[in-house]
Structure 1
Amino acid sequence: DPEWLSESDADRARDLAASCLVSIPSGSLPDLRRQDWLEPYVLFEIYRRRMSEGDTDRALLVRSELDRLYPGFLDRMSPSDSMIPPERAYIAVLLPMTGDGSVYAAQIEKGISMAFQRSADLLPQCPERVLFDTRGGVDGLIEAAAQLASDPRCIAVLGPMTSRETAEIAGIASAGGLPFLSPSATSSEIDRMGDFVHRLVPGGTDEAVVMAEVAVRDSGCTRLAILHSYTQASVSQAEQFAATVTRMGAQVVATRGFNVEDTDFKDQIIAIRAQRPDGIFLPVTAWEAVQIAPQLRFYSLDVPMFGTSGWDSDVVLRLGGEAVEGAVFTAAFGTGSLYPPTARFVFNFRRQFSEEPTLLAAQGYDAAGMILTAWSSGCRTRQSLEDFLKELDHYDGASGRSTVGARTETRASWPLVRITGGEALGVE
């Protein structure tokens, strides 16, 4: 019994017990359980093997018994709580690189690889990226996830790809204390599966609501006007903007529309100017914006302009000139986006792969960026990475402004761009 030994001899005895148990056949382990100091080590070895075999349900039963009989023992032994030297730690990428879904997985993996290459240039000790192919099947997924959960060198996993796959590994993630972050799972059910199971959620709240908040709360406008086209999307955004402005205690003093083929907006602008607004909402395309903005100035309606993601195009910078100076609008992922993180990602992706990036590639890049940001801030264990993900408010990346899981913060849903000095700058 280690209680009868010196501290150094007791440590040797424990290490010897743990190393010997590894070589004992699984069928013989239960016979070694005795009500003495060896029992928790036997239980831990049984738990570790069942996790590595993918037998999550039975592993959780053993874990519960271990916690009940020996509180705190698992915390001392669990790989999730041990500090692995930075040069040995790795982050796994768990995707179906062959089989069903491989085309989409390849896009995600390209984004992830870009994020790691960038971090390798910036961080003195960047964790290794190790790719695990699930082969498009559940069996390969479970096998790989269990292997990663039992490997103390693995401190986080980027994947799986789909919501169904993420649900399949939820028990393994929780039992192993290993954070999984899916770049592309979409089901909100994942957000209720407990700790260590996460998904990246790109912005989804209506952008007209966000712009109303920007106009009223941030810019201090109280008398707003709206100029929209007679398209379903533009009319819908105008209505949502007006409803939000009213709810926030400000006024919409004028609303005017135009046909998509119109190029002369004199009548609408003069009618709006008569109501003396202090800001104008323009839910229009980039081509429409660069025609409307100069006419606003020509007819002496010089007020702040607020737009939607239709503005997010280099057309605004190339053709808008001084007329669009100061305009604020939402940004959405696209290869022509003006949003700085997206534009940088698109440029680097084209240069590296000689092809156009997809939204999935951007989401893979951002999910990896979240994990690597945590690593660079000193999160080097599974638990510290998990805490970082749970506390992360939002992340501004290539796919826009994202969150980990569903969040209720409206403003965290869309990145913003402001035209300043002829350049498109991100708005914090």
Structure 2
Amino acid sequence: MKTLLLIFSLLSSPLFAALAENNIASIAKSNPLEEAYKREFIFLNAQKSQLELSLKKNSAHYRKLLKNLETEQNSKEASLVKLTGQNEKLDAEVNELEVQVSAINDSRSIFESTMEQAQSMLELKLSEELTPSQKSEQIFAAAQDKMRLSHSIEMYNSSFYDQSGKKVEGKIIKLGEIARYGVTSQTSGVLSPLGNKEWGLKSEGGDSALSLAEGKVPAVLNLYLYEDANRAIIEKESKNIVQFITSGGSVAWVIVVLGLVALVLVSYRAFSLKQLNNKHIPHRALTESDLLKIENHTHSSGAQFVQLIKNKLQSQEVPTEKMIEEAYLVVGSKLDKFGSMILVLASVAPLLGLLGTVTGMISTFDIITQFGTGDPKLLSSGISEALITTELGLVVAIPTLFFGNMLTSQSRKIKNQLEQISYLLLQSSGLQSEKRELNV
């Protein structure tokens, strides 16, 4: 586009017009066609020379302009890098200032809350017109006075409630800010805070109170320590076993019932195995006298075992192996009675405890959803249900599992005794058969 403008300017210049007229005049004298070519050639040479001259000038100008632009660009880039660094530094300083401002605000809020708490604890009412430094000076002065009084014993006349709940007049002996005694003409003892600066007399510490009232310091002081004189101390109520189980919810009662059932079954099984136990079994072939001794233990498994075999011997004179095996199965079923049930109860009890834990936690989360976490007493019911059921489940499961396995071991021992009796019976029957064969 610039080249076309340059050509157009050359064509329209006076110099180019004068050269063209002179060339045309000289060419008109020669051959018209040749003159026309010459004129065109001259015109083009002049135009070429003009364009080359203009190109040199423009090339130098544009090279200089490009160099200036590159220099300016490098300068701008350097300035940009410098400004970027300054900007990052300023951002870091701003962030640091924001942190400092936040820390100052936090410190101010902590200071204000500390001042308010100190005024409440020291029972001070400071004017709002005071500066923070003046308030802090007065608070520190009051705190020093209170610390000085907290190391002293003070006695003054005031009213408090006796053990029957009646308000009486008497002397209050103040031991700093940790304990108080009350003394009347009828009774004396330590005082406990009831709230709203009221005090209640307890039966403990009467001797210490009388000694302090007489100006004597006993060797041993019976104290009732408190943290805040304005807050009542509520004595913790002790729970009986029924209240403890009830706080665990319905699942806790189910676990208790299972525990009672397990206790009955374990007791019955222990008593039954004790009766079925066999003693004085000879380690040799049984004789008629040995069988009579075993039968004399009427309730033992061996006696029942021998009696069953005798009942089956009505049709045979010698006991067979099948007969002994049938008798062993009958007596063995009595030995295994309720054994599996006890182990099942031992397995179910902790699972019920886990169920109670889940139920209690669900109840706790429902309370949190409805009332929030502001009141711990509302959350205590669900938490107690979760923990108590777990505790009861383990209390039932551990001894039940222990005694169940111990009774199973005892049952296995008695079965081994029955196998020994079976072996001795078979051995005795073999000897009797040999005797009969010899007699024949």
TM-score (norm 2): 0.19
**Structure with max Cα Rg:** 2
Higher relative contact order (CA 8 A, sep 6+): 1
Structure with bigger strand share is 1
TM-score (norm 1): 0.19
